[in-house]
Structure 1
Amino acid sequence: MPDDALATEARTDDGPGAVQAMMARACESEEHGSQFALLLQEALPAAERLDAGALRELAPLLKHVTARFARADVPIGYRQRVDRGLRALLASVDEAYLPEGVLPVHDTWAAPLRERVRTAPSVELTRFVRHLAGLSAPRPTRTWHRACVTLADEAAAREDVAECLRALAEDEPYCTREDGPHTGSSCGYHYVVHPYHGDVARGAVWAAALTGGPEAVPRLQALALRMGTSGRDLYEGPKLAGAAINALGAIDDPRALEALWRLRAPIRNRALRKQLDTALQAAAERQGITRAQLVERTVPAHGLGPDGSVERTLGVHTVRVAVEGAAAVRITFTGADGRALRTAPAAVKDGFPEELGRLKALAKEVRATLSSERARVEGLMSKDRVWPYAEWCEHYRDHPITGAVVRGLIWEFQDEDGHWRASLAAPGGEAAHVRLWHPIRAAVDDVRAWRERVVDEQVRQPFKQAFREIYLITPAEEGTATYSNRYAAHIVHYRRLYALFRERGWQTNFLGRHEGGLNGEARGEFGGGEWRACFHHEPVDDADWAIEYAATDQVRFERRHGRRWREAQLADVPPPVFSEAMRDVDLFVGVTSIAADPDWADRGEDRHAAYRREAGFGALTASAEVRRAALERILPRTRIAGRCALDGRHLVVRGELRTYRIHLGSANVLMEPDGAYLCIVQGRRAPGTLYLPFEDERLSLILSKAFLLAADHKITDASIRRQIGV
């Protein structure tokens, strides 16, 4: 129907004729998407006031305008309200009619519903699809839930939405360069769902969850991972991931809880993490427990036995997947001769490829859970969490994966008289309560004794505990009251800093020459989410776009009050929270400071040289003091003990050619007697099988340099020999 026909057929009365004229005028602006939408918005209220007979008379016009609007290039912010209005009008006059644009024309994920509409249209199916498209909120109401299940059954569409979910989770995405853009933009980006069809896609996700229940869990989890993790670069990703997360939260089944648990580690998006927390909180409330209890009770065991292993017989070989310590998961293959192999023999590879693939996938899943549990349990260091003894035994000590983490840690057990006693193993009898030991609560002599014991027994702790850094409020911080300048005025590599923020779970904005991009604030939550540390930083160079270096500034603390955060006095922050937050900040500065960059001296730059020398060889931080304490216990057990001595801030190493001073904070090396800087770039691993009580790259680097320089006459690297003067 051409535009002039619309106009000439318009009647002059105030009813249908006026609506027809307004819509004709709107269609004249079809090439100007936003104007087209605005004019239709003016026409919709008039159309909604018409009686049923007048609307039936306008049905052909409404269908025509709806189709033109569906094909027009209209910004998403203008489109949604008009779409809903036009579709509601059409539904009131022709319940069986599904307007063009409700389902995408080409997207593969919608093919099952689209094919049903084409080959077997029905009023029930149209009602169901319109119901899906009517979902605009992240979490639908219970009324929407009930109607969705009823309409899906009336339309016999359960299998269709299950297939839609599969396609959303697994099918290849579209690329705007190859498949055409969503809008007039020529930028290239990938998408699974056209932004015009986000609502109906989220509706399909929810319908699949509500009708499929536990059977939908694996694909909901896959969809959340696909659309919600960094690096995917998928348009509309977070919204669709949010639908999958919220739908998982609505499924009252252990498999859904396990899926939510697994999503906690890979998803870093702040909004999605809030939705994860909301879903877990709702599930916890259904069970009458706290969110923390829910998380620890849903750690997957992956079918492992109490000893952390599972065995399968493949032909004449026994294949064993086992957790070994707090950081390793291994597969071994034992033949009829009793000899265990680390690699799959040909008989297993060729004879049982599918079973072998499943066992390798199982090992990968167990590794991911083990890594996540190490991080989760370490996060408990900032919480004042106390468990009933039986509950701790069930969910920590006796769990096949979590147990591998906790067995290398120091725990405190409370007896019936209320006294706490620290131990590496559970006491022989029953204890009343259990809590994780933190050195900030212990006496200095007790900390020293635990460090000696850990080294003597060569306990490899899953994270620093006995040797954990302690950060107490200083007199200067008592004076500033609300902020700390302890880590201010450092020059850091900004990209490394930003990556480390993300790795440690801190939320931050990205610095750059854009609005708000010159003031950085990273936020990390501690104490079970009741406290938040804020680390301020800003660009230090004059780059037009990419920020290479940043300068650090204050650290402040905030306390949660309902849904808001309020600034807190440093003196009010619980000591474990303050210590753990400052430990993270120390890590950020120590790892990303230009003072720790071994390549800096080769750049011929003098910018920030004074800072680099001061920070690279200056006073020791708490983490460096812990390295010193570890070296005091490790070095006497090594073959270079007679050539090493700890002297203030340095490890002094006496080689055959020269004497060297390795700074315990930066691992930078100075040579005596002139104090010349020695640049050594090498792998950050301690030599051989040297025991270390905890993982620490800087400690490994210091030891590797010490072993190298103690035998400096054997060095073959030409650049090092030249600096030494050989």
Structure 2
Amino acid sequence: LSLEQAMLSQTLFSVAELHRIMEHPVVKAMLSKLVLFNPETQASGFWQDGHLLNAEGEKITLKASDKLLIAHPSHLFYAVQWDLYQKYLFDKEIKQPFKQVFRELYVPTKDELETSNRSERYQGHQVQPQKTVALLRGRGWTVNYEEGLQRVYHKEGFRATIYAAADWYTPSDVEAPTLEYVVFYNLKDGKEVPMKEINPVIFSEVMRDVDLVVSVAHVGGVDPEASHSTMQMRGALARESARLFKLTNVEVKERYILVKTEHGDYSLHLGSGMISKGGLQINVVAVQSQHRGRVFLPFVDDDPKTAEIISKMKLLSEGKIY
């Protein structure tokens, strides 16, 4: 069981188990950089000699009966602690073994919660069937001959299904399927499960998988604009990077980074990474190399587009692009 999988399955660990796990030097090196969370008390923090050290530097005493899990962003979001840990990772320059604190988070919309048992947020996107199936199979999804792509959650008692106007078994990508909606079914009676009853971690990860498909397997070989959740994550990274680099002429908006310099005002898109000035696009080519790691990102995952955007923000702010 990998640490990331333990986070996704919301595996609970006793304090005694964590003590034993931390005796393994390799696991300790990784787990000590991950935020742990107590679902009962909402306490969170990094494991430190049998205690938790939270984002405000406070030491939290643990009882022998406490059960902890590896926090998912949804736990920290609903406990109003997410942004505190984002700031903490930058301040301490902690590089997590996988995207945890800066993982893309997807929460149900008001419409999904109140008026529908289905999510239609990706409706209308055309995807390449072979690439879609390959991507999702690697993430625990299966192809059902009658209903399409689905993932079963036996412990929770339901399955997620992605519906599309598609034949997932076509030997070629001649006819690109169009995504329609995502729905959850009860395994016992086959009825649709309301979105508000779906565990927030599972909802977020299902939508993250669909978002991956829309981004990577989009028809035409051109990625669509990055999703709202991806841009939120990049915006948070940009804010913390600007604070770390002491860039006072940077303002992060919902979809753009605005940079004011003596050469003029620039807009850097959080999705595409394109730079514009006065409405005109400026062509800046990103050089992909082994040296891109010079820009600190608080996770090990390879994310060249985010690194490119943070680098461009810094160069614009310092007047090195104009």
Under a length normalisation based on structure 1, what TM-score does the superposition of the two structures give? 0.37
Within 1, Cα distance between the matches of 2:19 and 2:186?
32
Residue aligned with 2:37, SS: strand
CA shift digits 1:172-227 (9 cap, x unpaired): xxxxxxxxxxxxxxxxxxxxxxxxxxxxxxxxxxxxxxxxxxxxxxxxxxxxxxxx
**Does 2:72 correspond to 1:438?**
yes
**Does 2:267 correspond to 1:661?**
yes
1:683 is aligned with what amino acid? Answer: Q
2:182 is aligned with what amino acid? Answer: V
Using the TM superposition, give the Cα deviation of residue 702 of structure 1 relative to its aligned residue in structure 2, in angstroms: 1.7
Within 1, Cα distance between the matches of 2:135 and 2:108?
24
Contact 1:523 1:533 survives alignment (8 Å):
yes
Using the TM superposition, give the Cα deviation of residue 708 of structure 1 relative to its aligned residue in structure 2, in angstroms: 6.0
**Does 2:19 correspond to 1:393?**
yes
Contact 1:455 1:633 survives alignment (8 Å):
yes
Contact 1:535 1:554 survives alignment (8 Å):
yes
Contact 1:596 1:668 survives alignment (8 Å):
no
1:456-475 aligned within 5 A: 456-475=91-110
1:584 is aligned with what amino acid? Answer: D
1:404-419 aligned within 5 A: 404-413=29-38, 419=41
Contact 1:596 1:616 survives alignment (8 Å):
no
1:502 is aligned with what amino acid? Answer: R
CA shift digits 1:31-87 (9 cap, x unpaired): xxxxxxxxxxxxxxxxxxxxxxxxxxxxxxxxxxxxxxxxxxxxxxxxxxxxxxxxx
Distance 1:616 1:582, change over 3 A: closer
2:136 is aligned with what amino acid? Answer: F
2:253 is aligned, of 647, 655, 660, to: 647
CA shift digits 1:65-114 (9 cap, x unpaired): xxxxxxxxxxxxxxxxxxxxxxxxxxxxxxxxxxxxxxxxxxxxxxxxxx
Distance 1:565 1:704, change over 3 A: farther
Contact 2:160 2:182 survives alignment (8 Å):
yes
Within 2, Cα distance between the matches of 1:550 and 1:655?
46
Q: Which stretches in structure 1 are left out of the alignment for 5+ residues?
A: 1-295, 297-372, 510-515, 599-614, 714-726
Aligned residue pairs total: 303
Distance 1:539 1:656, change over 3 A: farther
Contact 1:685 1:704 survives alignment (8 Å):
no
Alignment match, 2:233: 626
Residue aligned with 1:440, SS: helix
**Does 2:210 correspond to 1:585?**
yes
CA shift digits 1:285-321 (9 cap, x unpaired): xxxxxxxxxxx5xxxxxxxxxxxxxxxxxxxxxxxxx
Using the TM superposition, give the Cα deviation of residue 555 of structure 1 relative to its aligned residue in structure 2, in angstroms: 0.6
Alignment match, 1:700: 307
1:92-131 aligned within 5 A: none
2:251 is aligned with what amino acid? Answer: A
Alignment match, 2:295: 690
Within 2, Cα distance between the matches of 1:703 and 1:577?
30
Contact 2:123 2:180 survives alignment (8 Å):
yes
Using the TM superposition, give the Cα deviation of residue 548 of structure 1 relative to its aligned residue in structure 2, in angstroms: 7.0
2:71 is aligned with what amino acid? Answer: W
1:622 is aligned with what amino acid? Answer: S
Within 2, Cα distance between the matches of 1:402 and 1:531?
32
1:626 is aligned with what amino acid? Answer: M
Contact 2:295 2:311 survives alignment (8 Å):
no
Structure (1 or 2) with the larger CA radius of gyration: 1
Within 1, Cα distance between the matches of 2:220 and 2:257?
17
Taking CA–CA contacts closer than 8 Å with sequence separation of 6 or more, which of the two structures ends up with the larger relative contact order? 2
1:184-583 aligned within 5 A: 296=1, 373=2, 377-394=3-20, 396-413=21-38, 419-426=41-48, 427-428=50-51, 431-432=64-65, 433-442=67-76, 443=78, 445-508=80-143, 521-526=148-153, 528=155, 530-538=157-165, 545-547=172-174, 549-561=176-188, 567-583=192-208
Within 1, Cα distance between the matches of 2:130 and 2:43?
44
Distance 1:476 1:449, change over 3 A: same
1:122-141 aligned within 5 A: none
Under a length normalisation based on structure 2, what TM-score does the superposition of the two structures give? 0.76
Within 2, Cα distance between the matches of 1:500 and 1:685?
26
Identity %: 24
Residue aligned with 1:616, SS: coil
Using the TM superposition, give the Cα deviation of residue 700 of structure 1 relative to its aligned residue in structure 2, in angstroms: 1.7
Q: Which has the higher strand share?
A: 2
Q: Which has the higher helix share?
A: 1
**Does 2:275 correspond to 1:673?**
no
Q: Which stretches in structure 2 are left out of the alignment for 5+ residues?
A: 52-61
Within 2, Cα distance between the matches of 1:708 and 1:595?
32
1:616 is aligned, of 225, 228, 233, to: 225
